[in-house]
């Protein structure tokens, strides 16, 4: 377990790194996302840091989507999909996922569903099942996977 001082600093660093990831080259961005994936997987930092992520077309850049893609694919690899799915369903964490899984506007919901589906994390898309945008999902594909 990390000392509380380090935990706070790593949590601050996550927010800063996410907000400035467009300044990093591809290798540095991948390494930073792997570091934070490890810290999240091991619960060394709080999942509350994910509140900074707003998964929609207006609030993301190609770089931030790549960062999120690498972060969540790493966590899924570390945890395995069944345990990752359990974590996503954890009631105590739902508030931290609101920006990642927006339900306030159908366009934002579709964007997030399409993003996570395109990177192979359909488990995220399943959490949108009760959204009002469900009927529009099949006909609208607003997202790109931002390959790297």
pLDDT tens, 29-83? Answer: 999 999 999 999 999 999 999 999 999 999 999 999 999 999 999 999 999 988 9
Q: Is 49 a member of any domain?
A: yes
Q: CA angle, 91 as apex, 89 and 39 as ends, to 5°? A: 70
Q: Is 144 a member of any domain?
A: no
Residue 144 is predicted with a pLDDT of: 47
Q: Is 9 a member of any domain?
A: yes
Domain region containing 90:
4-137
The count of domains in the chain is: 1
pLDDT tens figures, 90-117 = 999 999 999 998 888 999 999 999 999 9
CB 60 within 8 A of CB 99: no
CB 36 within 8 A of CB 12: no
Q: Report the run of H or E that residue 82 belongs to, with start and end.
A: helix 81-89
pTM: 0.83
Q: Is 142 a member of any domain?
A: no
CB 116 within 8 A of CB 124: yes
Q: Is 147 a member of any domain?
A: no
């Amino acid at each position: 377990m990390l000392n509380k001082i380090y935990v706070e600093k790593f949590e601050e660093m996550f927010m800063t790194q996410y907000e400035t990831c467009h300044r990093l080259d591809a290798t540095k961005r991948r390494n930073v996302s792997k570091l934070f994936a490890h810290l999240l997987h091991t619960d060394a930092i709080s999942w509350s840091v994910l509140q900074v992520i707003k998964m929609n077309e207006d609030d993301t850049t190609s770089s931030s989507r790549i960062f999120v893609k690498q972060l969540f694919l790493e966590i899924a690899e570390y945890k395995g999909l069944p345990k990752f799915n359990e974590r996503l369903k954890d009631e105590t964490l739902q508030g931290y996922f609101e920006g990642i899984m927006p339900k306030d506007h159908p366009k934002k919901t579709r964007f997030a569903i399409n993003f996570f589906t395109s990177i192979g994390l359909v488990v995220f898309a399943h959490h949108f099942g009760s959204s009002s945008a469900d009927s529009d999902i099949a006909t609208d594909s607003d997202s790109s996977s931002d390959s790297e």
